[in-house]
Amino acid sequence: MPYSLDSVDTPFVAMDLDVVERNLQAMQARIDALGLKLRPHTKTHKQPWLAARQMAIGAHGLTVAKLGEAEVMLEAGFNELLIAYPLVGEAKAVRLAALMARGLKPVVAIDSREALETLARAAAIVDQPIRVLIEVDTGFHRCGLRGPAVIELARAVRQAPRLLFAGLMSYSGHISGQGDPAKIQQIIREEDEILWQHAQDLQACGVPVEIISIGGTVLAHYLASPTHATEVRPGIYVFNDLGIVHSGACRLDDCAARVWSTVVSRPAPDRAILDAGSKMLAFDGPIEGSYGYVVDYPGWHIRRLSEEHAIVEIDAGAPRPDIGQRVAVIPNHICPVINLQDRVVGVRAGQVVSTHAILGRGLTR
Ligand SMILES: Cc1ncc(COP(=O)(O)O)c(C=O)c1O
């Protein structure tokens, strides 16, 4: 039985299920039109029912970062997962092997000998093959190798028993925070050139490259043909957030998830305090001077966050809130916000219709 949002105690996260569905369909259609495969990153939503929806409308597979997330998705019946994160050490090898014994067929991205050895150990424990991608640094300067180191590691993968070299992966995270479409297009072109150069070098050494996996919601939005990529791994697109709006890849109306909060104090005429602090909104940003967008109140700016307080500065002439007023905030970056919730409510036409446990919440190991 649907019930009013007003009856839910704040702070809480509400996701508009119609906007979620629209976002899922739009991304699938966009990637289909490019002739690519969609392998959504589930670290954003952390909810198997959303993964199921992504697969039902055409996703080719799913991506996770951590083994804990893989476990949640495997438990829900998804056994082919890209682990887009280097696994290093004996504990990881043992855990990966245990998941494989339960049916997981992983593709894992690595960028070191140590990660290779971890995979080789897991594969040996269960005596099963593991497909491997090598992460290439295309300019974000996080993980990833470049040049001869990629070729050497690919050769080492091919020589390792039970490891199968499958291709290349990159994540151009430096695209986030860009508001200039020309700069975004340039990053996408550079990434494609770097990956294609590596793929050609590998093929020249007799190493076939089957998968070229690229990532991200902003990238997926601006990606155009031709590209040498074979698949894309957006995560945020399910909900979108202020960062994605800022990049020009979506509108405020496409942001499906909002943090609802209450004005709990008005200590000065130009200041209001909301009951959603960094434990709800997370610390990403600020974007245009604010830790989130207060819906319907563009003259309110969340200038600071304490753990349980958002400190809002109110422009002269902007509407002045009363204590007790409820407002919705679109977060700067939705992924950590979802990760902070035990559950979120599902909304249609402004009414709460469902509650959803965030089963992957906090699974950072
Ligand atoms: C390796 C990797 N792939 C894909 C994604 C998804 O990108 P986005 O969150 O921009 O949708 C991320 C996000 O952090 C990532 O780290």
Compute the mean pLDDT over every residue in the chain, rounded to the nearest whole number: 97
Q: Compute the distance between CA of residue 170 and CA of residue 299 in angstroms, rounded to an integer.
A: 39
Burial of 52 (C-beta count, 10 Å sphere; 0-12/13-18/19+):
middle
**Ligand 1, pocket-test mutation among 30, 42, 43, most atoms within 8 A of CB:** 43
**Cα-Cα-Cα-Cα dihedral of 318, 324, 326, 327, to 10°?**
30
Q: Is there a contact between 340 and 282 (Cβ–Cβ < 8 Å)? A: yes
Q: Compute the distance between CA of residue 50 and CA of residue 29 in angstroms, rounded to an integer.
A: 17
- Helix, strand, coil percentages (3-state) for the chain, rounded to 5, are 35, 25, 40
Q: How far is the CA of 59 from the centre of ligand 1 (A)?
A: 16
Segment 188-218, tens digit of pLDDT: 999 999 999 999 999 999 999 999 999 999 9
Residues in contact with ligand 1 (CB, 6 Å cut-off): 41, 44, 84, 171, 215-217, 233-236
Provide the pLDDT for residue 129.
98
Provide the pLDDT for residue 164.
98
Q: Is the pLDDT of residue 179 over 90?
A: no
Residue nearest to atom 8 of ligand 1 (CA): 216
Instruction: Please identify, by atom number, the ligand 1 atom nearest to the C-alpha of residue 335.
Output: 9
**Ligand 1, pocket-test mutation among 41, 54, 141, 223, most atoms within 8 A of CB:** 41
Instruction: Please identify, by atom number, the ligand 1 atom nearest to the C-alpha of residue 236.
Output: 11
Residue 252 DSSP label? G
Q: How far is the CA of 152 from the centre of ligand 1 (A)?
A: 26
Q: How far is the CA of 325 from the centre of ligand 1 (A)?
A: 35
Q: Is there a contact between 213 and 229 (Cβ–Cβ < 8 Å)? A: yes
Residue nearest to atom 3 of ligand 1 (CA): 215
Q: Is there a contact between 275 and 264 (Cβ–Cβ < 8 Å)? A: yes
Percent of the chain at pLDDT exceeding 90: 98
Count Cβ atoms below 10 Å from residue 331 Cβ, excluding itself.
Answer: 28
Q: How far is the CA of 217 from the centre of ligand 1 (A)?
A: 7
Lowest mean pLDDT among 124-128, 166-170, 174-178: 174-178
Reported confidence tier of residue 297, pLDDT bands at 50, 70, 90: very high
Written as six digits, the tokens of 309 are 């307080």
Q: Compute the distance between CA of residue 296 and CA of residue 302 in angstroms, rounded to an integer.
A: 14
Name which residue leads in pLDDT, 16 or 226. Answer: 16
Provide the pLDDT for residue 177.
81
Residue the block writes with tokens 């446990």: 357
Residue nearest to atom 10 of ligand 1 (CA): 216
Segment 80-114, tens digit of pLDDT: 999 999 999 999 999 999 999 999 999 999 999 99
Q: Compute the distance between CA of residue 126 and CA of residue 19 in angstroms, rounded to an integer.
A: 42
Q: How far is the CA of 112 from the centre of ligand 1 (A)?
A: 20
Reported confidence tier of residue 225, pLDDT bands at 50, 70, 90: confident
Q: Is the pLDDT of residue 178 over 90?
A: no
Phi first, then psi: give them for residue 140, nearest 5 degrees: -80, -25
Provide the pLDDT for residue 324.
98
Write the CB contacts of 311 (distance below 8 Å, at least 6 apart in sequence). 271, 273, 302, 303, 304, 305
Segment 140-168, tens digit of pLDDT: 999 999 999 999 999 999 999 999 999 99
Q: Compute the distance between CA of residue 11 and CA of residue 8 in angstroms, rounded to an integer.
A: 9
Q: Is the pLDDT of residue 72 over 90?
A: yes
Provide the pLDDT for residue 182.
93
Q: How far is the CA of 124 from the centre of ligand 1 (A)?
A: 30
Instruction: Please identify, by atom number, the ligand 1 atom nearest to the C-alpha of residue 109.
Output: 1
Q: Is there a contact between 40 and 59 (Cβ–Cβ < 8 Å)? A: yes
**Ligand 1, pocket-test mutation among 23, 138, 171, most atoms within 8 A of CB:** 171
What's the half-sphere exposure (Cβ side, CA atoms, 13 Å) at 156?
A: 18
Q: Compute the distance between CA of residue 64 and CA of residue 74 in angstroms, rounded to an integer.
A: 11
Domain architecture of the chain: domains with CATH: 17-240 (3.20.20.10), 252-357 (2.40.37.20)
**Ligand 1, pocket-test mutation among 233, 241, 254, most atoms within 8 A of CB:** 233
Residue nearest to atom 4 of ligand 1 (CA): 215
CA 76: distance to chain centroid? 19
Q: Compute the distance between CA of residue 218 and CA of residue 47 in angstroms, rounded to an integer.
A: 22
Segment 320-329, tens digit of pLDDT: 999 999 999 9
Q: Is there a contact between 62 and 105 (Cβ–Cβ < 8 Å)? A: no
Reported confidence tier of residue 285, pLDDT bands at 50, 70, 90: confident
Amino acid at position 162, single letter: R
Asked whether the whole model's pTM tops 0.85, one would answer yes
Percent of the chain at pLDDT exceeding 70: 100
Residues, the chain, total?
365
**Cα-Cα-Cα-Cα dihedral of 194, 200, 203, 209, to 10°?**
50
Q: Compute the distance between CA of residue 1 and CA of residue 326 in angstroms, rounded to an integer.
A: 23
Instruction: Please identify, by atom number, the ligand 1 atom nearest to the C-alpha of residue 44.
Output: 9
Pairing of strands 326-330, 293-294: antiparallel
Lowest mean pLDDT among 275-279, 285-289, 338-342: 285-289
Q: Is there a contact between 161 and 130 (Cβ–Cβ < 8 Å)? A: no
Count Cβ atoms below 10 Å from residue 59 Cβ, excluding itself.
Answer: 22
Mean per-residue pLDDT for 53-82? 98
Q: Is there a contact between 302 and 309 (Cβ–Cβ < 8 Å)? A: no
Segment 2-39, tens digit of pLDDT: 999 999 999 999 999 999 999 999 999 999 999 999 99
Q: How far is the CA of 207 from the centre of ligand 1 (A)?
A: 27
Instruction: Please identify, by atom number, the ligand 1 atom nearest to the C-alpha of residue 215.
Output: 4
